[in-house]
Each structure stands twice: as C-alpha cells, then as structure tokens.
C-alpha cells in the first residue's frame, strides 16, 4: 500500500515497543542526557526501563584486563584424538584458538549494547584434560570500559568451535562453566572470583554465588611477564617472552602472555595479580641486571614465601660458560602460596639458557608444590621430550644479563 493511501494513525494512539518518540531539541541546544537507572539497578536500562547503551564519555581511559574460562566436556575417544593424530576436521585446538580471538574482536556485533573497543591483546589457550577441553581467554585494552564481555565471547566462540570440530565423534559434547574469573582496571577496581570478601558496593555485588565455587586454575597453568620499559613503550618487540611461552606450552602448561609491563612497580603488580589468580607457574624475563630500573628481583622477593636459591644459581651457571656477564644477573626463584615464580634475564640468550635449566625439573617442582611425590615418575627426567626453544643458540647468547 502506498503512503498516499495508507490510513492515517490516530494522533491519540499510543506508541508501544522499544522505539519511543524523541522530543525535538532546539537548534544549538545540547541534547538531554538519558536518565540514569535507579541506584543499584541494571546499567543498560534507563529509569523508564528502556534498553540503552551506557554513556562512557566521562569515564577515564585506563588499562583494563579480563580473564574468562570455560570447558567443553567430551568423551575419552575425543580426548585421545586431540592428544594423538587429530580429528577428521583437522587441528581442532588451533582452529578454536583463532576463532576465540576473532570472536573477542567481534563482540559488539554479537552483543548489541557493547561498546566497540580497541583491543590491545587477546590470548586464548586450550588444554586437553582427561574429560574436557579447558579454555582460558585473556583480553586487554586501554579504554573507558571493561573487556569482560570480550573475554566471555572469546571463550564461548572457542567452545562452539571445539563442539563443531568434535561433533562427528561426540554428538553429546557439552559446553559448561563459562564465566569471568578476574577483571582489572576501571572505577570499580580489580575483581577476582576467588577471595572476595563480604561487604557493600561494587565488590560485594560482584561476589560470586556460593553455589558456584571457583574451579582452581591448577598446577599446569602459567603466565609469562616481560619487564621492559622500551618493549612496553613499543620501541622494540618483546623477543624473550614469546620464547618462554612457546616452551611452557610445549611442556604441557596452559600458558597466558607474555604480559609486557614497564620495569619497577608494574612488575610487582603483575606478579601479585598472577599469584592471587592462582597460576601454577609465573616466569619473568628482564629487569634482573644492575641498572637503576632493574628491579624485578626486588619485586619478586617482596612476594615470595620461600626462595629456591639453587634454581637461580643453576640458571646463572648455565650462561657463564658462554657469556661471563651472566654472573651479573640477580634473578630469583621461589614459591608464593602455590605459585612457582622464576626470574630469567632479558636477553634471548639468557632466556634460552634459563629454559634449558627449567626443562630439567619444572614439572617435578610444580608437583611437589602441590603435594605430589618427591620422586619423578619413572623415565621422567625433565619437562618432556620436546626440545622446544630451551636449547641454547650460540649466536643469541650475547646480550645484557638484565
């Protein structure tokens, strides 16, 4: 029916639905701001109950991170295929990892009231356990609002991709336990699912329900932290951190990072957050030398419950035969709670030397920290048969011990 022949709507007829008439604003006048929701109410609804996109114009631009986890329950047959020759559709874990990263970047297209954000980092890790594929996503930005939804979307899309990849073998694969574990930054501050104390305000409202206890990260989880003013400023790329992350993954650790931070206080903040989160292992690179900004050992010592001097000595000894300045590295190793923390030098040669040492005893040490046997399993002398990047490269051993 043409507009000319369409019956005119009675002016008294009410308008219903999500769309509402807007009062005209005189030219040059500022548009009225949407009414805020009642205190303690849902922020995405205005005082009249209409859906709205939260105005973040007046919020500060700050560094923000969020980590979410989830699981896909699968059959033993799928576990064997994922650990062995693979599934009919190919590399399920690599495909799911890429899908999760893409999902995080497309969150505003999927969740209508989310703000488009410039994501500065997305990591998605998948670990095959005896009964499931465990998924962890960490998202970072420097913006006016948080990235919890981006982290949840990354886990969700990765989980959907796992189901798609395994459904030919396991039609009952089940996605479960998708949730935010931690967030940092913003007006409401940091939030961790574990250890929330009772109280009022944002922290209390964010406290997890007792009926849904947190699933511990577990011993075989790791975080890599790179301490470097210049790498954090983008002057040059971080080279040591990716080497460590690659090695840890090859040794069977679900690994996040590298998280690049400036030297000094940011290192201690990153370590403290990692320990509170419950990683099994945290390995740092950089900041162990003698310059005024090399403060990684001081940041580490402040958090350790027990030092392991022999580990730091072995790492220094590994490099001494190639680079005499390895003796100047002040890196530490020790235990904070149930987290093993190890400082490696900042040079790629120093990182490789340190990895060569870690490969020999890391799983055994982690097992001991978590109450395991004092003796390695029969035939196990180190982190595994993967040579990884832990083998020293003579061409790269020159460099600062920091």
Instruction: Give the pLDDT mean for 329-340.
Output: 94
User: Where in the sequence numbering do the catalytic residues fall?
Assistant: 164
Q: Give tens-digit pLDDT for 390-400.
A: 333 333 344 44
Q: Does 381 or 164 have the greater pLDDT score?
A: 164
- How high is the pLDDT of residue 41? 56
- How high is the pLDDT of residue 249? 92
Instruction: Give the pLDDT mean for 323-349.
Output: 92
Query: CATH 3.40.980.10 region(s) of the chain?
Result: 216-402
Q: How many other C-beta atoms lie within 10 A of the C-beta of residue 199?
A: 10
Helix ranges restricted to H, 167-228: 201-205
- Who contacts 184 (Cβ-Cβ below 8 Å, separation ≥6)? 63, 64, 65, 66, 190, 191, 273
Query: CATH 3.30.70.640 region(s) of the chain?
Result: 60-191
- Angle (CA) 271 369 267, round 5°: 10
Proportion of the chain above pLDDT 90, given as a percent: 40
CATH no. of 216-402:
3.40.980.10
- How high is the pLDDT of residue 216? 43
Could you please state the CATH topology (level 3) that the domain comprising 60-191 is classified under: Alpha-Beta Plaits (3.30.70)
Angle between helices 348-369 and 240-250 (to 10 degrees): 40
Q: Give tens-digit pLDDT for 269-322.
A: 899 988 988 899 999 999 999 999 999 999 999 999 999 999 999 999 988 878
Dist CA 296 CA 266 (whole Å): 10
The DSSP symbol for 19 reads -
- How high is the pLDDT of residue 190? 78
- How high is the pLDDT of residue 180? 93
Q: How many other C-beta atoms lie within 10 A of the C-beta of residue 323?
A: 20
In this structure, are residues 190 and 183 in contact, taking their beta carbons and an 8 Å threshold? yes
- How high is the pLDDT of residue 364? 87
**Of 135-149, 151-165, 190-204, 211-225, which range is least confident?**
190-204
CA distances (Å), origin 149, targets 65, 111, 133, 341, 387? 11, 8, 21, 30, 38
Question: Measured over all CA atoms, what is the biggest interatomic distance in the chain, rounded to whole angstroms?
Answer: 93
**Of 13-17, 67-71, 163-167, which range is least confident?**
13-17
Asked if pLDDT for residue 328 goes beyond 60, the answer is yes
- How high is the pLDDT of residue 343? 97
The winner for highest mean pLDDT among 111-120, 267-276, 365-374 is: 267-276
- How high is the pLDDT of residue 375? 56
- How high is the pLDDT of residue 388? 42
Q: Give tens-digit pLDDT for 161-215.
A: 999 999 998 999 999 999 999 888 877 777 887 543 323 333 333 433 333 333 3
């Amino acid at each position: 029916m043409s507009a000319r022949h369409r019956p005119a709507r009675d002016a008294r007829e009410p308008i219903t639905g999500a769309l509402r008439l807007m009062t005209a604003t005189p030219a040059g006048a500022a548009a009225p701001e949407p009414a805020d929701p009642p205190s303690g109410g849902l922020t995405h609804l205005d005082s009249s109950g209409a859906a709205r996109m939260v105005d973040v114009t007046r919020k500060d631009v700050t560094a923000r991170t969020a980590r979410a986890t989830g699981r896909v329950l699968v059959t033993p047959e799928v576990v064997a295929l994922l650990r062995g020759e693979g599934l009919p559709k190919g590399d399920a874990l690599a495909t799911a990892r890429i899908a999760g990263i893409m999902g995080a970047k497309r969150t505003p297209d999927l969740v209508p009231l989310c703000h488009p954000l410039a994501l500065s980092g997305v990591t998605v890790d998948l670990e095959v356990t005896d009964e499931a594929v465990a998924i962890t996503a960490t998202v970072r930005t420097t913006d006016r609002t948080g990235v919890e939804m981006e982290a949840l979307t990354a886990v969700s899309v990765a989980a959907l991709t796992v189901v798609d990849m395994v459904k030919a073998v396991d039609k009952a694969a089940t996605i479960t336990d998708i949730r935010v574990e931690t967030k940092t930054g913003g007006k409401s501050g940091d939030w961790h699912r574990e250890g929330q104390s009772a109280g009022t305000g944002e922290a209390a409202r964010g406290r997890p329900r007792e009926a849904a206890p947190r699933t511990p990260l577990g011993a075989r989880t790791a975080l890599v932290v790179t301490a470097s003013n210049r790498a954090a400023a983008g002057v040059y790329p971080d080279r040591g951190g990716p080497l460590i992350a690659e090695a840890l993954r090859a040794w069977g650790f679900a690994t996040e990072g590298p998280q690049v931070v400036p030297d000094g206080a940011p290192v201690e903040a990153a370590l403290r957050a990692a320990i509170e989160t419950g990683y099994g292992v945290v390995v740092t690179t950089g900041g162990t030398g003698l310059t005024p900004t090399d403060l990684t050992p001081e940041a580490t010592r402040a958090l350790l419950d027990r030092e392991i001097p022999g580990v730091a000595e072995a790492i220094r000894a590994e490099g001494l035969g190639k680079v005499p300045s390895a003796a100047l590295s002040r890196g530490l190793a020790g235990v904070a709670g149930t987290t093993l923390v190890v400082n490696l030098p900042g040079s790629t040669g120093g990182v490789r030397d340190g990895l060569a040492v870690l490969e020999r005893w890391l799983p055994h040490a982690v097992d001991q920290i978590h109450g395991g046997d004092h003796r390695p399993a029969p035939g196990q002398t180190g982190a595994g048969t993967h040579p990884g990047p832990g083998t020293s490269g003579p061409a790269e051993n020159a460099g600062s011990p920091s």
